[in-house]
Amino acid sequence: MAARPNAPSFYAQAMSEERQRLLERARRMKGLDEDIALARVELRKATERIPRDDRLVIAWTNALRSLELARHQMGGASEDDRLERSLFHVLHLFDENPPEYPGTGFDASSGEDRFHQTISRSDKA
């Protein structure tokens, strides 16, 4: 059953006017890019906290993973590249000097590990 266009939502009734306006703006958003960006910012803040709260880091990592997987399931071929890039950055989040993304990592579209393919080719040469 679809919601009536002008009916107040169940949650909005308990919110301040400012929060109701934010809820309306959030309803108009398409895609998950902004949600993913926010999760990345919060994950970074969580890793920089002293003392670091590992439960918070894990929670934001899981949120980011879930958002990326949802975006991947919603999208087309270019989503594979974004999923690969995002997972690469999550995996290297705690590296002091993370490697450059292009040319390394897992190729989600083909299911092949380009990094190890490159190494095995150079060993054969």
Specify the DSSP element, H or E, that contains 113: strand 112-113
Give residue 55's Cα distance to chain centre. Answer: 18
Query: In this model, does residue 71 exceed pLDDT 70?
Result: yes
Query: Does residue 89 fall inside a structural domain?
Result: yes
Residue with tokens 């993304």: 101
If one counts the domains in the chain, the total is 1
Residues 6+ apart with CB under 8 A from 56: 46, 49
Query: Does residue 3 fall inside a structural domain?
Result: no
* Largest CA-CA distance found in the chain, in angstroms, rounded: 69
pLDDT above 90 covers a percentage of the chain that reads: 30
* pLDDT higher at 54 or 117: 54
Residue pLDDT, tens place only, 45-65: 999 999 999 999 999 999 999
- Report the predicted TM-score, pTM, of the whole model to 2 decimal places: 0.51
Highest mean pLDDT among 14-18, 85-89, 107-111: 14-18
Q: How confident is the model at residue 116 (pLDDT cuts 50, 70, 90)?
A: very low
Query: Does residue 36 fall inside a structural domain?
Result: yes
Query: Does residue 44 fall inside a structural domain?
Result: yes
Residue with tokens 């991947």: 72
Best CA proximity match to 40, nearest among 67, 5, 7, 13: 67
The span from the CA of 113 to the CA of 107, in Å, is 6
Give residue 30's Cα distance to chain centre. Answer: 15
Query: In this model, does residue 14 exceed pLDDT 80?
Result: yes
Q: Which domain holds residue 78?
A: 30-96
Other C-beta atoms closer than 10 Å to the C-beta of 87 total 18
Query: Does residue 102 fall inside a structural domain?
Result: no
* pLDDT higher at 28 or 109: 28
